[in-house]
Amino acid sequence: MSREHRVALFIGPPGAGKGSLSEYCKRELGWKQLSTGNLLRRHISEQTELGKHIDLIIKSGKLVSDELINTMVEQWLREVYSQGCTGVILDGYPRTIAQAKALNTLFERDLKALQLNVVRFLVDDQVAIDRISARFICINKDCQAVYSGLKHSSMRPKEDMACDKCQSPIGKRKDDHESVVKDRLSMYRKHESDLLHFYQKIGLKVIECDAGQSMGNLFNEFKTLMNIH
Ligand code: AMP
């Protein structure tokens, strides 16, 4: 990868559409995505030692330790960096100031060649809650495609309760229940201002996009803001 190659940090509340926009970027631009949430859910599904340890944390909407997440992301980034690709998305990372600082140190020290872009998803809490209550994901740990049960959504599955991509059943995420969602949203808001303050302090521009619009429109806005033609 070289300096034209981008690393986009997708920062936004649950239900903002970070995963869905990542899908567009993968499909249309050939980018790669690391969703820390997907990676952790895969560990839970495979019942690894780590998976057993984090299961309850994730179900209850709390955050997994910074140290653990930082190590995972660093490993993944180094691997992708050595393989090369046009763009990379970190979806749901960084989520805390400690993660943002660790990532920044890594970039300053070892990954100077890459262009870092912070993309903030702006969306009302109620829109996010409505999306999450209608959200389904593919239960296949290697797929985890996201669908919506909302009537007019372009993300409805073609077949009832089956994944378009791999035909596995789709279902609810354990942390997408109303009681947990409100905590996840307030946790996000609590850390968001620290993250924005940090990026402002180090002089990194934060690109803001309107995540309340349709995914197709959001993708077009994203490309314009990122100067992608
Ligand atoms: P997500 O799929 O991004 O909504 O993440 C699901 C859950 O995984 C979160 O509620 C956290 O418990 C955990 N998680 C994902 N990313 C992170 C992160 N960067 N830091 C800490 N915990 C995370």
pLDDT mean over 211-227: 95
Q: pLDDT by residue (tens digit) across 78-112?
A: 888 888 788 999 999 999 999 999 999 999 898 87
DSSP symbols for 175-203:
T-SHHHHHHHHHHHHHHHHHHHHHHHHTT
User: Ligand 1: which of 63, 101, 187, 189 to mutate, judged by most atoms within 8 Å of the beta carbon?
Assistant: 63
> Strand runs (DSSP E) across 67-122, as ranges?
87-91, 115-122
Q: What pLDDT sits at residue 16?
A: 97
pLDDT range class, residue 207, cuts 50, 70, 90: very high
Instruction: Indicate if the pLDDT at residue 53 is higher than 90.
Output: yes
C-alpha 2 chain-centroid distance? 23
Query: What pLDDT is stored for residue 219 in this prediction?
Result: 97
Q: Is 92 in the pocket of ligand 1 (CB under 6 A)?
A: yes
Residue 93 Cβ inside 6 Å of ligand 1? The answer reads yes
| pLDDT band (50, 70, 90) for residue 75 | very high
Secondary structure (3-state) at 167: coil
CA distance 83 to 118: 23
Decide whether any atom of ligand 1 lies within 6 Å of the 58 Cβ: yes
Across the range 48-75, mean pLDDT stands at 95
Handedness of CA 21, 23, 27, 33 (dihedral sign): positive
Q: Which atom of ligand 1 lies closest to the CA of 36?
A: 16
pLDDT above 60 for 1: no
Please tell me the distance between residue 36's alpha carbon and the centre of ligand 1 in angstroms.
Answer: 6
180 lines ligand 1 (CB under 6 A): no
| Protein residue with least CA distance to atom 8, ligand 1 | 37
Residue in the structure block whose two tokens are 């905590």: 183
DSSP tally for the chain: helices H, then strands E: 8, 8
Q: What pLDDT sits at residue 3?
A: 45
Across the range 211-226, mean pLDDT stands at 95
Which residue lies with its CA nearest to atom 19 of ligand 1? 93
Contact indicator for 64, 40 with CB cutoff of 8 Å? yes
For residue 115, name the pLDDT band (cuts at 50, 70, 90): confident
Tell me what the mean pLDDT of segment 203-215 comes to: 95
Position 4 scores a pLDDT of: 58
Predicted local distance difference test score (pLDDT) of residue 114: 80
Tell me how far the alpha carbon of residue 173 lies from the centroid of ligand 1, in angstroms: 12
Closest CA relative to residue 31, chosen from 148, 138, 114: 114
Sort 129 into a burial class: Cβ within 10 Å, 0-12 / 13-18 / 19+: middle
**Index of the ligand 1 atom closest to the CA of residue 35:** 3
Residue, of 67 and 2, whose pLDDT is higher: 67
Burial of 79 (0-12, 13-18, 19+ CB in 10 A): exposed
Average pLDDT, the chain: 93
Which residue's C-alpha comes closest to atom 7 of ligand 1?
37
Question: Residue 36 above 50 pLDDT?
Answer: yes
Q: What are phi and psi of 155, to 5 degrees?
A: -100, 15
